[in-house]
Structure 1
Amino acid sequence: MEPNEHQDADGARYRAELRRVLDTSSPSVVRRLEALRDIATAGTDGVTIDVFPDQESHRTFAVWARLSGADSFALDRQIGDERELFKVLWTDNGWEPAVPEPPASWSTLHLENVLFDTVAEWIDLLIPPDTTDLQWEVTTPDGTQDHRPVGPSH
């Protein structure tokens, strides 16, 4: 197997294992996305899903939703912590939930790219289908990733 083929196989395995962990949270995430849809007002343009990779190399991450538009700040405060869609914490016993160990050869940037792509693909399938009037996108708050449109309107 060529080195790139080995890396591709490691990446595919990691993504598949991470996706299984994300999928266990799908029912609660769908409910939260539906709540965002229901709270959105005429002063809301859409929903942004932010993927926050840990900057301290613990390889943890969080996924938060926020509304965009004129009313977004007040509405985000109204929703509160329900905007948190998924979170991986480092504990004394390892990652919670138990996400896969990324390949040791991956740089922090490569891991961030894989996390972003995997979360975007996962979220895309969970957005309520009757939200074509809202724009949905996935991004990273630091701008290292492009904004990726997701959901039924893209």
Structure 2
Amino acid sequence: MEEHEYRAELRRVLDENSSNTIKNLNATIQSLPEKTKSIELIIFPDQDGEGTFGVNVSLSGPDPYVLNKAIKDSATLIDVIHTPEGLRPNVPYVDPFDSSFEVNDVLSDVVGHWLKSIWAQSDCQDLGLPVIIVADEGYGMDLPITLN
């Protein structure tokens, strides 16, 4: 699969899963503790570079453990998992040894831009808190993305 095909297919699958992600994001924002100082939307690409990933919300402020415990039920915005039927959601699977591009960099950029569009569709725009999209281990060429 070429990079442009991968980008298009990944974005299509992400768009199909937008409503559930918006629901989780809105629930997380409604559960924000008062002492929250900033929000990170963190993309966690898999270490093998096969195209699976998760996205979690992380809060900072005094006592981050307590802050993040308050949102634990909705902090996972999307999580691609292996099932007996294949990947769920069914994102494109990539053989990292047969790829002409760095899968985790491209994945992080596509997911980062998708999260930016999700944020714009959510109930979160006027929080008055700094919000940033990052990828674990510094993946992504277009990241970080600042939202607020």
TM over 0.5: yes
Query: Shorter-chain-normalised TM-score: which range?
Result: 0.7 to 0.9
* Percent identity over paired residues: 30
Match of 2:6 in 1: 14
Q: 2:129 aligns with which of 113, 127, 134?
A: 134
Match of 1:4 in 2: none
Matches within 5 A, 1:65-84: 65-84=57-76
Q: Where does structure 1 lack aligned partners over 5 or more consecutive residues? A: 1-6
Contact 2:43 2:55 in 1 (8 A): yes
Matches within 5 A, 1:1-154: 10-102=2-94, 104-106=98-100, 110-127=102-119, 128=122, 130-145=125-140, 148-151=144-147, 153=148
Larger radius of gyration: 1
Contact 2:11 2:110 in 1 (8 A): yes
Aligned length: 142
CA distance in 1, matches of 2:3, 2:79: 21
Contact 2:42 2:133 in 1 (8 A): yes
Instruction: Tell me the TM-score normalized by structure 2.
Output: 0.79
Instruction: Tell me the TM-score normalized by structure 1.
Output: 0.76
CA distance in 1, matches of 2:36, 2:21: 20
Q: Where does structure 2 lack aligned partners over 5 or more consecutive residues? A: none
Q: Displacement, 1:122? A: 0.4
**Which one has more relative contact order, counting CA pairs under 8 Å at least 6 apart?**
2
CA distance in 1, matches of 2:82, 2:136: 21
* Greater Cα offset, 36-45 or 48-57: 36-45
